[in-house]
Amino acid sequence: MHHFSSKEVLLGAVIDRLEAHAQGLLDSADSIASSPETLIASLGGPWDPRKHSMAPLATLSAEIVDPGHPGRFRVARLRLVHEHVLERVFDGLDERGHLVAGTSSKFLARSLFSLLLSLTVREHTVREPQKTSDADPIADVQEFVRLCCVTD
């Protein structure tokens, strides 16, 4: 807190950083959509549930259920940006014939991002006291993509 004048200013700085990260993902959506393998690789990178960068997003996503949360609208918009990026990726995969017929890009984007947030919470809570490595979050999201994509 000695670097920020208030909790709200600190929250704003955290959200600013998360928004910059989301903008980078938005800028790379078309390249991520080049193949299911590229999406799978990306899920092990910028959206990796094990990485600290996903933890504040998962935490803030849970906290904004409080209507009085000071970052409610910015975090909600941030979540929508991530879902939009993933929807664009799934749309691109669909255009290339890589999406299972009859699937909805919008639904897949919402579902995948929810899965990523849930796995992030799991990694930063359940995994630590569990002391086992029987669940790999990257393998889980890769399996999700494999279920909805057709590979060459």
Q: Is the pLDDT of residue 131 over 90?
A: no
Task: Using CA atoms of 63, 69, 73, 75 in order, give the dihedral in degrees to the nearest 10.
Answer: -30
Mapped onto helix, strand or coil, the DSSP state of residue 149 is strand
Helix (H) or strand (E) holding 68: none
Q: Is the pLDDT of residue 87 over 80?
A: yes
- Check: CB of residue 93 under 8 Å from CB of residue 39: yes
Burial class (CB in 10 A: 0-12, 13-18, 19+), 27: exposed
- The strand pairing partners of 99, in sequence order, are 149
Which of 53, 79, 75 minimizes the C-alpha distance to 64?
A: 75
Lowest mean pLDDT among 78-82, 84-88, 148-152: 148-152
| 41 or 92: which leads in pLDDT | 92
User: For position 33, what pLDDT does the model report?
Assistant: 94
pTM for the predicted model, two decimal places: 0.89
Rounded distance between C-alpha atoms, residue 146 and residue 42, angstroms: 14
User: For position 12, what pLDDT does the model report?
Assistant: 87
**CA 76 vs CA 44, 70, 106, 125: distances in Å:** 23, 11, 16, 23
116: tokens are 């990523």
Lowest mean pLDDT among 55-64, 96-105, 124-133: 124-133
Q: How many percent of the chain have pLDDT more than 70?
A: 93
User: For position 110, what pLDDT does the model report?
Assistant: 97
Q: Is the pLDDT of residue 100 over 90?
A: yes
DSSP state of 53: T
pLDDT tens digits along 41-79: 888 888 888 887 788 999 999 999 999 999 999 999 999
- Indicate the angle between helix axes 72-95 and 36-43, nearest 10 degrees: 150
